[in-house]
Structure 1
């Protein structure tokens, strides 16, 4: 029996049109004069889209002039376009979470459901490229980034094995929760560092520092789970051979936990927390704060000049424009 394509859902979720400004936005909290050069205290927080169940994994896709992000629980990969319209890139995902672009500009995804790293294909689907470590299935890859040498780095906590709304209830095969490096050219998967529950990760502009958030505290939000203690970002030195050393605390959030984050060209860390986006200098000095109407989970820079910060905050896709 052939499928009646007339019964399939449409892909358009928002029609073209300008964004709305978030009401009651208090403005940007400038705590260091360096931030005032980059972000106006009077900048508007823009509402680009409303309707996700759990927005995550923001990434700017320059080849298609769009912002791509995941609606994890709705099992959709979405795209916002500069004319304001939002459409579905992949429908019926296996609980995609974090996204990145590989060295060839192709989309790379973390999947909770298939417990893998996948790559988008030309047919509008995604093919798994990393599924096991030493013969055992991964936990539930959460966030991913690509280093300057093309290697794919990702975090592998157990969140997707504990929440049916973001994966399925499965006993882990691995006894650790780690950050991995996948060198696709040589086919190697390396376990780089262990954590309680690794989450977001990003490199400094020179590639010499890797930041990883550990968010075991968030386990307390899951039924029948006990909250862990960690709600911090850890920094590592990255060697010429990609090994990690000099593990050290970078920052800890007072509200909630640092989920996803980005590092800009200045080396500043723009991290989510329970109350919004915190901007932090490499020396851990707090530069400022952007309050959000819902708890954000991830953010990314985008636009033609990469001067717009996109923020996924549960049901919202938000944005704020930088001065430079």
Structure 2
């Protein structure tokens, strides 16, 4: 892979583009309007990707990064509006997160592993096997408070040639894993039909994981919740929410404990108790999302687009 190629400018600095013909946010609970004003409108920050996924804020560089999975690039949006290629010729990188040392951690569909890129551009593989067998195609990843990397491992990269490499699973199961970079250990934490997005509650005591097996002919379109015990053991799963229409691909939990999840209709927002608070419609199917550091701006990936929506001042 090539970090920061010389001809990496994709969009020149400038203001975002308005998004016409999209419905305004819809509140189901008054609390939603206090955070997402009815007058808030989507803007387009970039619209030339092929399939956008894996957005995350990278503090070390002060940019929003996301994956163009099918375009095989990791892109970066800068505060002046320009978009640059951060990593070129990727092995179908999908999900990204930032670890405790400020490195950008990637889920690679093509190489079927986790890798990381340091702020100065150094790249290295992290982990690619469990009990001697290769992962399926790591999809999404989150860093826990203790520095462990939790990631989902569905089969999409093995079955979709535009997003990975066609192959049979070495494992025979679709799981969530906990990888400890400090000692290299890998633990299989839970199995789902097709585990996908994942996030922790603000206090780290609950892990949320989505099952998107509906996209593969199954019935999973759910977010499950697990109690986290001693930072590395999961309790029994409970269905937190079923998402309609579509599936909960990627999602985030804000510092209120609200769950902001992708869906076919846009971004759906639920309280920590599972109550539906509101919807932010998007013109295309929403794949994933993340917040700015102060949680005053929401970034949304949706097919070729990177969108943004400003939230109420806090």
The answer to whether the superposition gives a TM-score over 0.5 is yes
**For the residues of structure 1 that align with 2:247 and 2:27, how far apart are their CA atoms?**
21
Paired residue for 2:64, among 67, 71, 78? 67
**For the residues of structure 1 that align with 2:236 and 2:130, how far apart are their CA atoms?**
25
**For the residues of structure 2 that align with 1:125 and 1:187, how far apart are their CA atoms?**
19
Aligned residue in 2 for 1:253? 243
Deviation at 1:306, TM superposition (A): 2.8
Q: Which ranges in structure 2 are unaligned for 5 or more consecutive residues? A: none
2:161 is the counterpart of 1:164: yes
Alignment coverage as a number of residue pairs = 309
Q: Secondary structure at the match of 1:35?
A: helix
Q: Secondary structure at the match of 2:35?
A: coil
Paired residue for 1:55, among 52, 57, 63? 52
2:195 is the counterpart of 1:198: yes
**For the residues of structure 2 that align with 1:119 and 1:251, how far apart are their CA atoms?**
32
2:38 is the counterpart of 1:41: yes
2:285 is the counterpart of 1:288: no
2:115 is the counterpart of 1:118: yes
Residues 103 and 119 of structure 2 are in contact (CA less than 8 Å); yes or no, is this contact kept in structure 1? no
**For the residues of structure 1 that align with 2:91 and 2:123, how far apart are their CA atoms?**
10
Paired residue for 1:299, among 262, 265, 289? 289
Paired residue for 1:236, among 198, 214, 226? 226
Residues 265 and 282 of structure 2 are in contact (CA less than 8 Å); yes or no, is this contact kept in structure 1? yes
Q: Which ranges in structure 1 are unaligned for 5 or more consecutive residues? A: 1-7, 220-226
Aligned residue in 1 for 2:182? 185
**For the residues of structure 2 that align with 1:135 and 1:25, how far apart are their CA atoms?**
49
Deviation at 1:121, TM superposition (A): 4.0
**For the residues of structure 2 that align with 1:311 and 1:14, how far apart are their CA atoms?**
18
Aligned residue in 2 for 1:150? 147
Paired residue for 1:316, among 294, 305, 308? 305
TM-score by length of 1: 0.93
Between 183-192 and 133-142, the greater mean CA deviation after superposition: 183-192
Q: Which runs of 4+ in 1 moved over 4 A?
A: none
RMSD, matched Cα: 1.2
**For the residues of structure 2 that align with 1:126 and 1:116, how far apart are their CA atoms?**
13
Shift of the 125–294 alpha-carbon distance from structure 1 to 2, 3 Å rule, reads farther
